[in-house]
Copies of this chain bind each other. A is one copy, B any other.
Amino acid sequence: MAKELITSAHVAELAGVSQSAVSRVFTPGASASSAMAKKVRKAADELGYRPNILARSLITGKSKLIGVIVAYLENQFYPEALEKLSKSLQERGYHVLVLMAKLTDDNVDQLLDTLLDYQVEGIVMASVSMSSSLAARCDAAGVPVVLFNRMQDDDRLSAVTSDNINGGEKVAQFLIAGDHKRIAYIAGWDGASTQRDREQGFLQGLNKAGMPLYARDVGNFDFIKAQEAAHRLFDHPEKPDAVFVANDHMALAVMEYLRQKRRLRIPDDVSIVGYDDVHLASWPSFGLTTIRQPSNRMVVETVNMLIAQIKDDNTEPRKIFLESPLIVRKSARIPDDWPDTNNTFDSPVVEQ
């Protein structure tokens, strides 16, 4: 139980060499004879020595730490992304300090300060936006920030999203082609760019076809609130015949509600379309038609951009919009003339 720290000095003594020799052996870019290395490694193993990264970081100024602020692990999209992000960064020699925020929270300030206190070399904000004063602070500290799944008009910020406006528009086109007449929308939290962009694209698409939005309600990206929104939308004699829900997490909630509590058939009575393409969306019980956010590529771009900026101060922040295809399954009526979509019906279920 006694916390007896073994330092490079101890190893040096045992190996009969200088302390700096030990350091060199354990420093990637340093030069040491193989004889030296052998001696030192032997002594180190014997004592169970490993370099203290905190001390190293203090000197080099490189903590090899990436701060990640994430809200909303309840939405399957984020655990998936977090797992990929963390693994990807690990592979590149970085490690992840994770802080949880609340979804509609403004006091991200504190969390961000904490990250900076730990001298993180970069920050990923997943499903969280930031004030421009925060952006300024990170910029001043020389710590690059990448927004993951949020877009924001600030030159100091990088951001990776799918093309949410285009995605929203595609949904409108699809529903209109499917001959729906009373098209409703359930919105996410309006503080999120994803919500605003998806809705904007959706309205744009309806507009181009001269189709009005039949009804709108708000689910704030919350499971229960989405069901409450559905409850209100369907409490009228003339019910919507299609609902675009701002993300899959809410769309699945709405499906559960409409099928189980309202006894509505999907898509016969009402079409539902979501956004994200989380794993659950492809389960046969749901077969949710949705827009796929390419989380793999989003993570790759995030990591690449972050590391590029860490490695070279002159790398400019960028915004990346990734294409996001419509995945046609069976929760929304499919237009007769719609191109064959069997190839996109990728169920994880075993084929017999």
Contact = CB atoms under 8 A, between A and B. Distances in A.
Interface in A84-143: 86-87, 90, 95-100, 113-114, 116-119, 137, 139-142
A103 to B, nearest CB: 11
A212 interface: no
A352 B261 contact: yes
Copies of this chain present in the complex amount to 2
Interface string A35-54: 00000000000001011111
A1 interface: yes
B285 A118 contact: no
Interface stretch (A164-172, A176-184, A224-232, A267-275): A224-232
Interface residues of A, number: 67
A82 interface: yes
Contact of A100 (B63, B87, B257): B87
Contacts of A313: 1-3
A34 interface: no
Contact of A83 (B58, B73, B96): B73
Given A256-B283, A257-B349, A260-B284, A95 B97 contact: yes
Interface in A1-59: 1-5, 48, 50-55, 57-58
Interface of A: 1-5, 48, 50-55, 57-58, 61, 63, 65, 73-74, 76, 78-80, 82-83, 86-87, 90, 95-100, 113-114, 116-119, 137, 139-142, 223-224, 227-228, 231, 256-257, 259-261, 279-280, 283-286, 313-314, 348-350, 352
19 contacts: A1-B139, A1-B142, A3-B142, A3-B313, A50-B116, A51-B117, A54-B54, A54-B58, A65-B97, A76-B76, A78-B79, A83-B100, A86-B98, A95-B99, A95-B118, A96-B98, A97-B98, A227-B350, A285-B285
